[in-house]
Amino acid sequence: MTEHPFSLRPRGLRPWLLWLAGLFILVAACAAPATSTTPPAASMASPAASTASPATSTAPAVSARLQVLATTTILGDVVKNVAGEAADVRTLLPVNADPHGFQPTPADVVLISQADLVFVNGLGLEELLLPLLAGALPAHKIVAVSEGIEPIVAHAAEDAHEEAAEHDHAEGIDPHTWTDPTHVILWTQVIAAALAAADPAQAERYQANARAYEQTLRDLDAWVQEQVAQVPPAQRLLVSEHAVFAYFARRYGFTQVGTVIPGFSALAEPSAQDLAALEDAIRQVGVRAIFVGNTVNPRLAERVAADTGIRVIPVYSGSLSAADGPASTYVAYIRYNTHAFVAGMN
């Protein structure tokens, strides 16, 4: 039996997911053309009435633009930069939602069913959403932007932690590819190609937008390298609440000392032994701060910081900030986090 190309072979559908699947069937049924309920007397209208000008219709206009959905706020911002004004782009997850554990609402089911394209991160990030997406849309309408990026794979110990928590990503793969701006350049190319294929009339606009945004990302990458150079390599010691910044660390020469929550999912639970080992490592190598993302509870990180006498510094991880916040775009997100890392390690 052939699997859907984005399937993660989930261990079993949760009850809420089965409920949403039933709801999707109901939504689809309600969207089907209704049979006429015109009373017999009304159906005997005069010929003059039946030839009234269609200009008098009050039905709402349907947008001719491509209807596009992105799962996360980070991905949504990148898609908007590529689509420009040629497509309507919406984001499924709200600001500050954890993509690891997001559970869709009935309104989300409707949004999914109406989309011409849905962009997902892939590599297991949207594990709870994929069965719903696969049941709601044909495979060609679901585009995984991180496919083709060389993934970071968990060590055996991390795999064991995540398997015990039953929240591991596919094959122990790190899905947080966006923390390296050069990966988002690859996203941009995937997005432009998918938009052009779905909307050939606007293909030139999508490609032009993508080229302009790619240059913005190359400039961003160069800026990050300049900022990171202010931190001596021996002090580039990274501890975060879970393993979300591994691609950033690989790109810019940071050492990941450890994480408060073991593995790639913020839904896992550390043991007492995990926390004790992390605190020992922090003391041994001289870590100066723990960086905690905006989509997780900081309680455990604050406990570790208090035990070891270091600081907790807030950063943005799986979501952008609100529109009036300091990380309302992907570029602002990378700039904010880079400033935080440099200040926290110097």
pLDDT band at 13 (very low <50, low <70, confident <90, very high): very low
Q: Can you give the pLDDT at residue 156?
A: 38
Distance CA 321, CA 150 (A): 28
Q: Can you give the pLDDT at residue 7?
A: 36
What average pLDDT is seen over the chain?
82
CB 345 within 8 A of CB 236: yes
Looking at this protein, which amino acid is placed at residue 90? R
Q: Can you give the pLDDT at residue 231?
A: 98
H and E: helices and strands count for the chain? 12, 8
State the maximum Cα–Cα separation within the chain, in Å, rounded to a whole number: 90
| Residues in contact with 229: Cβ distance below 8 Å, sequence separation at least 6, in sequence order | none
String of DSSP letters for 319-343: S---TTSTTSSHHHHHHHHHHHHHH
**More confident of the two residues 7 and 131:** 131
pTM: 0.79
Q: Can you give the pLDDT at residue 73?
A: 98
Write out pLDDT tens, residues 171-221.
Answer: 589 999 999 999 999 999 999 999 999 999 999 999 999 999 999 999 999
Cα angle at 151 between 93 and 342, to 5 degrees?
Answer: 75
Please state the φ and ψ torsions of residue 290, each to the nearest 5 degrees: -110, 130
pLDDT band at 296 (very low <50, low <70, confident <90, very high): confident
pLDDT band at 266 (very low <50, low <70, confident <90, very high): low
What 8-state DSSP symbol labels residue 40? T
Distance CA 319, CA 76 (A): 10
State both tokens at 342. Answer: 């440099």
Q: Can you give the pLDDT at residue 155?
A: 58
**More confident of the two residues 244 and 28:** 244
Once rounded to an integer, what is the mean pLDDT over residues 260-276? 81
121, 136, 72, 86: which is closest to 294 by C-alpha?
72
Domains of the chain: 64-219 (3.40.50.1980), 230-345 (3.40.50.1980)
Write out pLDDT tens, residues 79-90.
Answer: 999 999 999 999
- 55: pLDDT strictly greater than 80: no
pLDDT band at 242 (very low <50, low <70, confident <90, very high): confident
Instruction: Please list the alpha-helical segments (H only) found in the chain.
Output: 15-31, 47-50, 73-83, 106-114, 130-136, 156-165, 181-198, 203-228, 246-252, 272-285, 299-308, 330-345
State both tokens at 127. Answer: 């594990």
Q: Is 36 helix (H, G, I), strand (E, B) or coil?
A: coil
Angle, in degrees to the nearest 10, between helices 203-228 and 330-345: 10
- 131: pLDDT strictly greater than 90: no
- 261: pLDDT strictly greater than 60: yes
Give every strand in the sheet of 87-91, ordered side by side: 87-91, 66-70, 117-120, 142-144
pLDDT band at 99 (very low <50, low <70, confident <90, very high): confident
pLDDT band at 265 (very low <50, low <70, confident <90, very high): low
| Residues in contact with 34: Cβ distance below 8 Å, sequence separation at least 6, in sequence order | none
